[in-house]
Every structure is written in C-alpha cells, then in structure tokens.
Chain A
Amino acid sequence: MFTRRDFLRTAAATAILMGGPAGLRQAAARQTLSQADLLRFDPLGQVTLLHVTDVHAQLTPIYFREPSINLGVGAVEGKPPHVTGHDFLQMFDIPADSPECYALTSENFVDLARTYGRVGGLDRLATLINAIRAERPDNTLFLDGGDTWQGSYTSLQTRGGDMVRAFNALKTDAMTAHWEFTYGEARVREILDGELDMPFLCGNVLDTLWEEPVFESTQMFERGGVQVAVIGQAFPYTPIANPRHLIPEWSFGIRPETVQEHVDAARAAGAEVVVLLSHNGFDVDRKLASLVSGIDVILTGHTHDALPREVKVGKTLLIASGSHGKFLSRLDLEVTGGQVTDYRYRLIPVFADVITPDPDMARLIAEVRAPYEAECTRVLGKTDDLLYRRGNFNGTFDDLICQALLAERDAEIALSPGFRWGATLLPGQDITIDDVYSMTAITYPNAYRQAMTGEMLKTILEDVADNLFNDDPFYQQGGDMVRVGGLGYSIDIQKPMGSRISDMTLLKTGAPIDPAREYVVAGWASVNEGTEGPPIYDVVSQYIERQGTVSVPENTTIKIRT
C-alpha cells in the first residue's frame, strides 16, 4: 500500500504553503503518490485475475463520488457493501482524507477531489493492465463484468462500438453483460459476429421458446499451468429492469441450478479454479455463493460496490471492483493439487493524475471520439453545486433532471429512474454534452408526459421500493429508488411489500396526494414500447442552457425510516 498519511500531509502542507489552486496541489500530490505505488504487489501463486466492471463507457477520466446512503435489509443490514462514509473508514481502517478515503467514500468529497483529481480513463487502465501483464505474462486473466458498452455520448452514437474496440485493445479475456442488451438483439448479434474479440459469457440466458442456451456459459483458460474456468452470469433481471421488447426472444434469471451445472461441468472438464464472472449484484452473489458449491471466486458487478477487501462465503471469495473504471482489482491465486490454497487481493484505485496514459489506448480513444469531439465538449452551462447520482434515494444530478422535467414538460410531478451510473461534477465545473449523456445515454430515452392517479404513483413507489428493499436479494430487481420531483414521501424500508411508503405530498401545494386525483407526471426510461416524448438528454440539455448556471438545493423531501 502507498503511504496514505504522507501523501495527505505533503499535499495539505504544500497547499497551505502555496495557497494556490487545485492544480498545484495535484502537482504536489504527484510527488508522493506514483504509478509504482499503485502497482505495488507481492505476487503470489500461478494465477493473477484482473477485473473491472460497470465501466459504463467512460473512456476518459472523471470524478466519481461513492454513495453516502447504501442501506441493506434483512441478513445484510450493516454488512459490506451496505456501509458508507465514516463507518466505512472505521470498518476498513482507512484514515480520513487519505487517498483510499477519497476513492472509497463520499467523505469530504469535494475537497479531496480537488486534491487527488480525477479517476479512471481507459488509457490509464491500459497502463496498469499492461504493467501487470508484463510482470506476469503467462499468469494473467483480464475479465470484464459488463455494463461496458453503455453510458456515454459516443457509445450511444456507435451503439457500443467504441467500447468494443477499446476492450478488444485491452485484450480482454472474457466478458458478461447487462446494459449491452439494451442495444437490442440484432446489434448484440452483429457485435458478437463481427466486432468482439472475446468470449461473451452469459450462462443464464435461454431462449424464451425452447429454453435453450443462447450464449456460451464457460471458457477454459490455462494460466501458469493451472486450468481456470470462467463462467459468465448476465444481469438476471435484464428483461424486467430494461425493455423486454428489445430482446423479446431471450429469457434471463438467477438460475442457481444452472450455475451449479456449469460449475460441475467445468470441474469435470478439469478446472482447478472456477471463477463466476457475474453481473448479479453483490447481495445476490452473496446468497448464490451459499447455494452453489465449487465456485472459488465470484467477481461481482452491477451494484457498483468498491470493497478494499474480499468477502468470504464458505470457500468462495467475493470481489467488488467498483465502477466507471475507477478501480482495477488484482487477485493472485495459489493453486495446489487442484485447490486454491492461498490468495492475495488488492483493489487498485485508478488515480488518473499519477498514471502515465498508455499511448496506444490514448490514440484509440482520441480516434473514436474524433467525429464527436466538438459536440461532446460543447458547454451547456455551469453548476454551482456538486452533481452526482449514486445513493439509495436521490442524487443531485437526478434532482436536476427532475427540475428539467417539471419545467420543460410542464408537469406537477417528475419521475427519474434510480440508475447507478453517471459521473460526478464538482461545484464550479462546466456542464458539457458529455456530462449530460453520462447520466442519460440510453436507447429508450423518450421523456413521457402523462396523467397518473395518486394511487398509481403510490403503486410505482412501492414497487420500486420492494425491488430495492425486499429482504430476499433474489427478489431485488432494480437499481436505486426512483427519484421524484414535486413529490415528497416517507419510506420505512423495514416494512413489508406494499406498505413502505406514506405521507405522499404534492410539494407545490403541500396537499396530501389524493389516490383518486390525476396528476400530470413527466418521466423517462419507460420500459414500455412506443413511449412518446423528446429524448431526455435533449430535455436536460435545453434546461441547463436556459438556466446558464444551475443550482440544486438540498433534497429534504424524502423522510427515511430504517
């Protein structure tokens, strides 16, 4: 590990001495934290697994604030990853204001962001991966957990093509998927047939008619003389959380028995190490690990959790590698007599300012962005406040989207999906087209405007709440809670399905929501086919341009009881 204390002390002292802008402090920081520090690792055993997941098409460095609220229910209450802020620092013995504090929590985020700078960027990631491969040429497996092809202006324009090229160039050994499917069956097949250089492993996807496998489930690799089986598990609720009409012939599901069959088949075929490359989400994987035997490692994804230490369930190691290219996981495995006998793990934060960009990847990124660069970097306005999305109940960028929906679509109430992806903007930063698309780049973007009864609104809030807070993770389908504008409510996350939401109020008048009255509601990301309305990115861009400078007051409209 690099020396956290020294890094901060030097950086802070320099800042005081110079009293200067963030750039100088970052320069100072560079003197104490180096690429070598990030790569430092005492190699172990025959196999090195490298893992990224949920990159969400972030080619270039960004800011990304981890959630300050990430509640767990039932058996996982208070367990990682349902630990945030100060509690997280204590649990993992991380000093306040250290680089890890910045990378892993939302504590003192704005100050630390100005000190430590941006994170991620595939040219930085390439440098780290290449360095580890150079050190461990015959031992390294680089695996991508999916949600790679979606989440930016360029990925939307190229229908994932830019990310496919970038991850081919990273020599990715295998991937699984979720948002990839939102480009539709034809595009997924086109990419698999002609563009993608790696196995696309989704063992839990069957065709709806015959219930036969659609994709390969397993790929066997030999690394360091060890047979390693990688089994892919796509997001089990893709046709529910995202539009089924885009992939009408494909059926998903957790399918623990199928996973067990694939594990048994891999063992029978000689696998000494079995890895589940999963997009289930952390809590689902934690439960799955207790039901399926013979998995050595689950590389988790979907829920965007970044944990500095592995979580062990029986003999299975669970790894949580964060999102947006902010982290690279390295897990070394020692295998003796067909068994994993030792391991060593490090979650490597990708601090963009201290890593030399890989020139080939930098060139590729410039090339794929070139046709769109002028539009992507077009400045729409500026923000006075920190803009982020991640959190169980609201994010400030979602508050901004709700403001835009209320104003631009002349609605009483706005609904915005609780996606987990999207980069963070610091107070004072310009808002560009890139930034808006980082929050809205989906293939079903139409911003609807329709009448909904109070009863319907309650049903929606209850439905989404159960998808997040059902105490059996296998019944959790969604992202975070749906974001609301113009509407206040209370939520008791411990209550059973259908009875968590109360005190629904129309903020404009302060009146309780009347179950029988119809309200004008604007929203986006409907999974229904044929939804009409302007694309959400246009709605939000227009609103920001009209405002010039946006501000987002503290959201006090949701009362949470735990």
Chain B
Amino acid sequence: MTDARETGGPSRRTILLTIGGTAVAAGLTAVPGLAWADEAAVAEAIKGMVGDMPPESGVTLDLPEIAENGNTVPLSFEVDAPMSGDVYVKDVMVLADGNPSPDVAVFHFTPMSGKAAASTRLRLAGTQNVVAVAQLSDGTAMMGKKQVKVTIGGCGG
C-alpha cells in the first residue's frame, strides 16, 4: 500500500489537528541515524535535550498496545502543563528505542498553541518503547513512555 503517511512528512492527522487548532506542529524533524537504536541511545538523546532523565509523568502517550500495522502506528500525546504566562511547553521530542534511529520527531510549541498536544503516525520496526519528552520554558522536563508490540499476528481466538 502506498500511503503518504508512511513517508515521514507531516501526517494528514497532524495537519487536521493543526487546522483544528489543537496544536501547532511547526516542524517535524526526521533525523537519519547510522546504527540501530537501543535504550542507551534513547537515554543519551534525552540527556542531550534536557540534561537529566526527567520523571516518568506529565506526558500522556496514546498508542496502541499492539500495532495493527507497524508501518503506520497512530500516536497522540498530551502534556499536562500550563501553556500561558512564563511557563509553557517549548518542545516535545518523540523517540523509539527499537528503530534504526531513536529520533522520530520534535514538535515545537508556543503559549499560542493553547495546549501541548499533537497526533501523528510513526513506523516501528518491531516491539519497542516509544518515549515522549517535554521540555518546558523554565528548564524543567517531563516524560511519557509506552511499549508497543509489533507481532507477526494470527492465531486469534
């Protein structure tokens, strides 16, 4: 199946949400990698962005427990943080620890975004953890994590 959503560009869903005013996803950055990712590579990327490993709370990741199609897995996230005044969510980085590269996307927000939330689709090479790290304007950070299974399927009840 040829599908624009699999090309790595902004998904239709993201565009929809943008039009709907839920989020302003100013840029999706796909970073090509050389070696396969692992937990260490993800940890390194997180530390590179926000310094220390943030606590696992504050970011809700909506992903299927088991992917119907590893080539296009729907992902939504929402950060539980105020988006007005001095403190707001600046960036949300999405990472996957079992793909050729850990980097999936970085979403940029401003207080004008209203809410730090967005939806997209990502490709997952196999069963792995997907992590979303939110960096706030005051230098603090939060994180959400969820495991997604990519199975060979079949055998269903």
User: What is the interface of chain A, defined by CB distance below 8 A to chain B?
Assistant: 147, 178, 209, 211, 235, 237-242, 244, 248, 251-254, 257, 281, 302-304, 417-421, 459-460, 463-464, 466-467, 470, 472, 474-475, 477-480, 482, 497, 525-527
Q: Are B151 and A477 in contact (CB under 8 A)?
A: yes
Query: Closest Cβ of chain A: how far from B115's Cβ, in Å?
Result: 16
Residues 53 to 77 of chain B near chain A (Cβ within 8 Å): 62, 64-69, 74
Measured in the bound complex, the distance between the Cα atoms of B62 and A257 in whole Å is 10
* A to B CB contacts below 8 Å, 17 in the list: A211-B74, A239-B68, A240-B66, A240-B153, A242-B154, A254-B65, A281-B157, A419-B155, A419-B157, A463-B152, A477-B153, A478-B154, A478-B156, A482-B155, A525-B154, A525-B155, A526-B154
**Is there a chain A Cβ closer than 8 Å to B110's Cβ?**
no
A420 in complex: contacting residue of B64, B153, B154, B157, CB < 8 Å: B157
B66 in complex: contacting residue of A237, A281, A525, A527, CB < 8 Å: A237
Q: Interface on chain A toward B: helix, strand, loop, or mixed SS?
A: loop
Q: Are B156 and A479 in contact (CB under 8 A)?
A: yes
Q: Are B127 and A418 in contact (CB under 8 A)?
A: no
Q: Per-position contact with A for B9-24: 1 when CB-CB < 8 Å, else 0?
A: 0001100000000000
What is the chain B residue whose CB lies nearest that of A209? Answer: B12
Measured in the bound complex, the distance between the Cα atoms of B156 and A381 in whole Å is 29
Which residues of chain A come closer than 8 Å to B155, judged between CB atoms?
241, 417-419, 464, 467, 478-480, 482, 525
Which residues of chain B come closer than 8 Å to A527, judged between CB atoms?
153-154
Q: Are B13 and A240 in contact (CB under 8 A)?
A: no
Measured in the bound complex, the distance between the Cα atoms of B136 and A463 in whole Å is 39
Q: Are B68 and A251 in contact (CB under 8 A)?
A: yes
Measured in the bound complex, the distance between the Cα atoms of B151 and A80 in whole Å is 27
Measured in the bound complex, the distance between the Cα atoms of B65 and A248 in whole Å is 19
Which residues of chain B come closer than 8 Å to A241, judged between CB atoms?
153-157
**Is there a chain A Cβ closer than 8 Å to B123's Cβ?**
no
What is the chain B residue whose CB lies nearest that of A241? Answer: B156
Which residues of chain A come closer than 8 Å to B13, judged between CB atoms?
211
Measured in the bound complex, the distance between the Cα atoms of B127 and A209 in whole Å is 23
User: What is the interface of chain B, defined by CB distance below 8 A to chain A?
Assistant: 1, 12-13, 62, 64-69, 74, 127, 147, 149, 151-157
Which residues of chain B come closer than 8 Å to A147, judged between CB atoms?
157
Given contacts A242-B156, A464-B154, A466-B151, 18 further A-B contacts (CB under 8 A): A178-B157, A241-B154, A241-B155, A244-B68, A248-B1, A251-B68, A251-B74, A254-B65, A257-B62, A418-B155, A419-B155, A420-B157, A463-B151, A463-B152, A478-B154, A478-B156, A479-B155, A527-B153
Measured in the bound complex, the distance between the Cα atoms of B90 and A6 in whole Å is 75
Which residues of chain B come closer than 8 Å to A253, judged between CB atoms?
64, 68
Q: Are B127 and A459 in contact (CB under 8 A)?
A: no
Which residues of chain A come closer than 8 Å to B66, judged between CB atoms?
237, 240, 475, 477
Measured in the bound complex, the distance between the Cα atoms of B147 and A281 in whole Å is 21
Q: Interface on chain B toward A: helix, strand, loop, or mixed SS?
A: loop
Q: Are B65 and A417 in contact (CB under 8 A)?
A: no
Measured in the bound complex, the distance between the Cα atoms of B149 and A481 in whole Å is 17
Q: Are B156 and A235 in contact (CB under 8 A)?
A: yes
What is the chain B residue whose CB lies nearest that of A284? Answer: B65
Q: Are A472 and B65 in contact (CB under 8 A)?
A: yes
Q: Are B152 and A235 in contact (CB under 8 A)?
A: no
The 7 A-B pairs at the shortest CB distance, nearest first, are namely A241-B156, A479-B157, A417-B155, A478-B155, A474-B65, A239-B68, A527-B154
What is the chain A residue whose CB lies nearest that of B60? Answer: A257
What is the chain B residue whose CB lies nearest that of A417? Answer: B155
Q: Are B156 and A244 in contact (CB under 8 A)?
A: no
Query: Closest Cβ of chain A: how far from B146's Cβ, in Å?
Result: 11
Q: Are A237 and B156 in contact (CB under 8 A)?
A: yes
Which residues of chain B come closer than 8 Å to A479, judged between CB atoms?
155-157
A244-B154 contact in complex given A211-B13, A475-B149, A497-B127, C-beta closer than 8 Å: no
Measured in the bound complex, the distance between the Cα atoms of B157 and A304 in whole Å is 9
Q: Are A459 and B154 in contact (CB under 8 A)?
A: no
Which residues of chain B come closer than 8 Å to A472, judged between CB atoms?
65
A244-B74 contact in complex given A253-B64, A477-B156, C-beta closer than 8 Å: no
Which residues of chain B come closer than 8 Å to A482, judged between CB atoms?
155
Query: Closest Cβ of chain A: how far from B28's Cβ, in Å?
Result: 19
Measured in the bound complex, the distance between the Cα atoms of B156 and A304 in whole Å is 13
Which residues of chain B come closer than 8 Å to A251, judged between CB atoms?
68, 74
What is the chain B residue whose CB lies nearest that of A467? Answer: B151
Query: Closest Cβ of chain B: how far from A239's Cβ, in Å?
Result: 5
What is the chain B residue whose CB lies nearest that of A279? Answer: B157
Query: Closest Cβ of chain B: how far from A58's Cβ, in Å?
Result: 16
Query: Closest Cβ of chain B: how far from A485's Cβ, in Å?
Result: 15
Q: Which of B67, B68, B147, B155: most chain A Cβ within 10 A?
A: B155
Which residues of chain A come closer than 8 Å to B69, judged between CB atoms?
239, 244
Measured in the bound complex, the distance between the Cα atoms of B9 and A76 in whole Å is 43
Q: Which of A240, A242, A244, A478: most chain B Cβ within 10 A?
A: A240
Which residues of chain B come closer than 8 Å to A237, judged between CB atoms?
66, 156
Measured in the bound complex, the distance between the Cα atoms of B68 and A248 in whole Å is 10
Measured in the bound complex, the distance between the Cα atoms of B157 and A468 in whole Å is 10
Measured in the bound complex, the distance between the Cα atoms of B151 and A244 in whole Å is 13
Q: Are A460 and B152 in contact (CB under 8 A)?
A: yes
Which residues of chain B come closer than 8 Å to A474, judged between CB atoms?
65
A478 in complex: contacting residue of B12, B127, B147, B157, CB < 8 Å: B157
Query: Closest Cβ of chain B: how far from A437's Cβ, in Å?
Result: 18
Measured in the bound complex, the distance between the Cα atoms of B67 and A252 in whole Å is 10
What is the chain A residue whose CB lies nearest that of B151? Answer: A463
A459-B68 contact in complex given A241-B157, A419-B157, A478-B157, C-beta closer than 8 Å: no
What is the chain A residue whose CB lies nearest that of B157? Answer: A479
Q: Are B157 and A252 in contact (CB under 8 A)?
A: no
Measured in the bound complex, the distance between the Cα atoms of B156 and A477 in whole Å is 7
What is the chain A residue whose CB lies nearest that of B16? Answer: A210
Which residues of chain B come closer than 8 Å to A238, judged between CB atoms?
156
Query: Closest Cβ of chain A: how far from B32's Cβ, in Å?
Result: 27
Q: Are A417 and B64 in contact (CB under 8 A)?
A: no
Q: Are B157 and A302 in contact (CB under 8 A)?
A: yes
Query: Closest Cβ of chain B: how far from A477's Cβ, in Å?
Result: 5
Which residues of chain A come closer than 8 Å to B68, judged between CB atoms?
239-240, 244, 251-253
Query: Closest Cβ of chain B: how far from A180's Cβ, in Å?
Result: 13
Which residues of chain A come closer than 8 Å to B1, judged between CB atoms?
248
Query: Closest Cβ of chain B: how far from A446's Cβ, in Å?
Result: 13
What is the chain B residue whose CB lies nearest that of A257? Answer: B62
Q: Are B154 and A417 in contact (CB under 8 A)?
A: yes
Measured in the bound complex, the distance between the Cα atoms of B64 and A167 in whole Å is 33
Query: Closest Cβ of chain A: how far from B117's Cβ, in Å?
Result: 13
A235 in complex: contacting residue of B127, B151, B157, CB < 8 Å: B157
